[in-house]
Structure 1
Amino acid sequence: MTDLVTRVRELLPSVRADLEELVRIESVWADPARRPEVYRSAELTAKLLRHAGFGDVRTVESGGAPAVIARHPAPEGAPTVLLYAHHDVQPEGDPGQWHSAPFEPTERDGRLYGRGTADDKAGIATHLAAFRALGPNPPVGVTVFVEGEEESGSPSLPALLNEHRDLLAADVIVIADSDNWSTDIPALTVSLRGLADCVVEVATLDHGLHSGLWGGVVPDALSVLVRLLASLHDDDGNVAVQGLHEAKAAEVEFSEERVRADSGLLDGVRQIGSGPVVQRMWARPAITVIGIDTTPIDKASNTLVPRARAKVSMRVAPGGDARAHLEALTRHLQDHAPWGAQVTVTPGDVGQPYAIDARGPVYDAARAAFKTAWGREPIDMGMGGSIPFIAEFAAAFPDAEILVTGVEDPGTQAHSINESLHLGVLERAATSEALFLEALGRGPS
């Protein structure tokens, strides 16, 4: 065990170099102009896995982005573990808001900054480090599956799982795409909210009108839209849509002070909703308006706007059905339009929530590995964000145990500007994974 911990530490400089090479590739599948970069990223991922010692490495696609599957067979009688990560990343946003170039990995104060340093190219680095640390003859079968369109909702994942079921079949699945409680305290994610979104359009006129001649008599669409969106929450900020599911969050303390510090809440701005923080973040539905289409300010005139629309995103608590929740949201928007305005709701993406019963010998082995690597017992935590593909894995491989881990921490700022990876967390995550694979080879008890 001590040798394995030391081996991971010795490997980290080369693994970091591999990670930095990956980060320099702008693998944004959501941007059609950069889709060739996603293919470059897949090629490099396959190359790194071959160099790590995987004998069977192939790049596959099923109508979407390229994914990489690498396999090392299990010794006789040993289990096979599937290690998941994704090599695509979110768009970087305004590069001017980054403290360093978003696709040039830069170290500051023990953190490596750059888009994808944590989410989720660090997941690839973790798998590389753990596999290489185990040597040429690992005690378990290892399959690495690196997806290429997770940040776009994994639309072709069901087809990939179906077409390559034999290659991906495993006894244990480790999803390295989640968070830790802090840089010092590890976590197993045991619940994730689902996702459903839609675009709502309101119309009040068949053309724009002079606001001086008709204002005060005829409603403009933007005012209607603002009032309609405001109806989604009560005065305390709780979701006001009827018929939505609420679960029970893991029993951990999340202080008001930590909310303010971790979120960057401005002075004087209050939290929304009522009840414990973790209940609101992990186990209740949440609704956010993430975009509005109307007349830009620099093109505005004194005109009543005839049409306006918004994109509404809803998180679904574990145990709820995302499609049923989208129907409830649609009914609310249709029933609450003020002044008889016409409302059209166009459904968007749907991803199911997931809850994990993290009990049994496999989870015991994982917790023991975390404790050795981190010096602390892991916390069972929920995740307010969504990883809908976990439900896809569970449906495809119903007998597999699923563990959701990751290399992120509250300071990572995944999806935001100045995304970063804590290098100490990378070492501990890779060590945990190597120890876990070694324990499974011995047979958890």
Structure 2
Amino acid sequence: MTQVLHIVGGGMAGSEAAWQAAEMGVDVIIHEMRPTVGTFAHQTGNLAEMVCSNSFRSDDDEQNAVGLLHWEMRAANGLIMTTAHAHRLPAGGALAVDRDPFAEDVTAKLRSHPRVTVTDEEVTALPDDGQWIFATGPLTSPALGEAIRAETGSDALAFFDAIAPIVYADSIDMSKAWMQSRYDKGETEEERAAYLNCPMDRDQYEAFIDALLAADKTEFHEGETAGYFDGCLPIEVMAERGRQTLRHGPMKPVGLTNPHAPDVKPHAVVQLRRDNALGTLFNIVGFQTKMKYGAQTDVFRRIPGLENASFARLGGIHRNTFINSPTLLDAQMRLKSKPNIRFAGQITGVEGYVESAAMGLLAGRTAAAEILGRELPEVPKDSAMGALIHHITGGAEAKTFQPMNVNFGLFRPVDGLKGGRRGRRDRYKAYTDRAKAEWQTWLDQC
């Protein structure tokens, strides 16, 4: 009897894992509890639903590690990346997508695949037999979380993740705002005007910071400690670190010229990125928040151009759970105490849609190979995939393990290249050239 691969969770990692295994000839069952059992952040029952942002970040595969990861996933027939490109929106050098059609397309492709079955049941235990991949993401259900803690013998680590608000485009005052990508970045006129910008002078910025710091915020339950992933900090947490922090982060005023007042340099700029193909929705870039809903509308309407803003979705905060992968998983992402179970996605301690999907790609391929009686070569450590999986399955320090985006700091040095800022472009190009060659060789051997 042919063995079936069970995948728990239909997010980025679970969807990618299912696609890779099915394309290798393995029958797959995706166990996705939505919409029967909902979550705080999800709005639909679609697979690969994007909740925090609609961006896969930089698509530059020569100077950016996440862009390199995009390239590796496309080279491996990755479902998430190929579908993302089919639904991309203008976003300068970033890969942003029309989130609803993207998720609907991923769902349709998996549901129509002859080797994939999707069920809406909730899995609450770690099975003793069969081949399983758990890709339940940051919103792992309480019952399953308890089962994972019971098996691993230690508390799952956790931090808090925040969501940015989305604004209706027709409620934005374009007599104050304008369209422009920072430094006019982009290959087309549409991409060079991909972001909507709202300028602030010094007094407006200072008043905004005062309101932000004074706003009512979500309090944590007794016994919860609030750790945040630095790449997704709530704006009020950034403001608490210093009044100028936002001006050097999501509100930096550089690379932009206000056509309404071209001779006036803004003190700070709030950027919004198109959230759907129609251009009717925009999300406020970098404005993840833990403010209560009433406070959000008051604070965000202080932004010039958003005084009468209507919100399609306000921001929010949720618990993000992950395991201590360096101690719990082997090099093929199998749970050491139950080798029939693999973990993939954000629950392994990678951060971001792209990284989650990438780990799903590897988990799906390695699980399928095991079922088919094949032995895959080791994932090359000098690829982006290899650097990331090596980090979470042994390269990171277990005692201080925290969620990690892919970055060139995870890569082994390239011989003959000098360090320092002046050599950065050459060094990054050397990393990506080496990674592409190693990754292509690995794919040819699989």
Q: TM-score, normalised by structure 2?
A: 0.34
* Higher-strand-fraction structure: 1
Q: Which has the larger radius of gyration?
A: 1
Higher RCO, 1 vs 2 (CA within 8 Å, ≥6 residues apart): 1
